[in-house]
Amino acid sequence: MLEFRLVQGSLLKKVMEAIKDLVTDANFECSSTGFSLQAMDSSHVALVALLLRSEGFEHYRCDRNLSMGMNLNNMSKMLKCAGNDDIITIKADDGGDIVTFMFESPSQDKISDFEMKLMDISSEQLGIPESEYQSIVRMPAAEFQRICKDLSSIGDTVIISVTKEGVKFSTRGDIGSANIVCRQNTSVDKPEEATVIEMKEPVSLTFALRYMNSFTKATPLSNSVSLSMSSDLPLVVEYKIADMGYLRFYLAPKIEDEEEQS
């Protein structure tokens, strides 16, 4: 059986809100080290990878590796019933086909049990190798969200270019064009407000803004976001989840030349 108790229940609610529009069904993988999920959107352009390490839970028990198939919209519906300060416990039995979400109010005067049916989901898992990225940009998450939102009112795609000078987001549409440059800025009061650019090589890639906007729904999870880019790899947009893990989005770039697919 498995049982996890998460004091910061709102965290799980935020994770669901961030990913439920991108993927409909997903398998949650549970092992002794943590709770994880990998799922692609239906067109296989974007991928969500979530990791919540066991250390971050107040109580974590997982006897053997298990995979739980859930419809994310349904899971989100259930988690919406939890209060923001509630403690959430997830429970499931080895042989069963349901998962239980238990919500406890902070003062312990209200306890709710929600049971959800599990699903059999045959999803393809991709092996994502650890890579060195040519450029990594870390910036305030709210700033990134604002940029994506602003640019998508002008165009459909964004070109992200990292140079020594900074990171440039540009787009072009029927009504005109837009360029936003963010320079490195570390002289701020709080470290999460900094913009840090680690560049080994300059890189410039094009992405669909539709997906970027969807990723920024994870903004409530973290004050800062990091964008990792290499010319031959998908973009990684990472939101760190304090003390527990991360929520990462991978996005395949747009390419100019027609590639041969078999």
Partner 1 sequence: MGIKGLTKLLADNAPNGMKEHTFESYFGRKIAIDASMSIYQFLIVVGRTGSEMLTNEAGEITSHLQGMFSRTIRLLEAGIKPLYVFDGKPPDLKKEELAKRLSKRVGATEDLAQAIETGDKADIEKYSKRTVKVTRQHNEDCKRLLRLMGVPVIEAPSEAEAECASLCKNGNVYAVASEDMDSLTFGAPRFLRHLMDPSSKKVPVMEFEIGKILEELDLTMDQFIDLGILCGCDYCESIKGIGGQTALKLIRQHGSIENILENINKERYVIPENWPYQDARCLFKEPLVSPLEDLPEVKWASPDEEGLSTFLVKENGFNQDRVTKAIEKIKAAKNKSSQARLESFFKPVVTTATPIKRKLYTAC
Which residues contribute to the site for partner 1 (CB under 8 A)? Answer: 27, 29-31, 40, 42-47, 64-69, 92-97, 118-122, 124-129, 157, 206, 208, 232-234, 250, 252-256, 258-259, 261-262
Minimum separation from the CB atom of position 98 to partner 1 (A)? 9
Q: Which is nearer to partner 1, 109 or 257 (CB)?
A: 257
CB of 215 to partner 1, least distance (A): 14
Question: Could you give the CA distance from residue 115 to residue 92 in angstroms, rounded to a whole number?
Answer: 10
Helix 72-79 with 9-19: angle, nearest 10 deg: 140
Single out the residue of 52, 85, 90, 78 nearest to residue 240, CA to CA.
Answer: 52
Intra-chain end-to-end CA distance of the chain, in Å:
43
Smallest gap from Cβ 186 to partner 1, in A, equals: 32
Task: Provide the 10 A C-beta neighbour count for residue 37.
Answer: 22
Smallest separation, CB 44 to partner 1 (Å): 5
Cα gap 251→7, rounded to integer Å:
32
The rounded Cα 235 to chain-centroid distance in angstroms is 13
Q: How far is it, in rounded angstroms, from Cα 226 to Cα 77?
A: 29
Closest to partner 1 by CB, 156 or 243: 156
Minimum distance, C-beta of residue 48 to partner 1, in the bound complex (Å) = 11
What is the closest distance, in whole angstroms, from the C-beta atom of residue 33 to partner 1 in the complex? Answer: 12
Structure tokens at 13: 């609610």
Q: Residue 174 or 189: which CB sits closer to partner 1?
A: 174
| 8-state DSSP, 260 | P
> What is the spatial distance between Cα 23 and Cα 123, in angstroms, rounded to a whole number?
11
Q: Is the Cβ of residue 31 or residue 105 nearer to partner 1 in the bound state?
A: 31
* Smaller CB separation from partner 1, 78 or 139: 78
Helix, strand, or coil (residue 182): strand
Measured from the CB atom, the residue of 47 and 88 that comes closer to partner 1 is 47
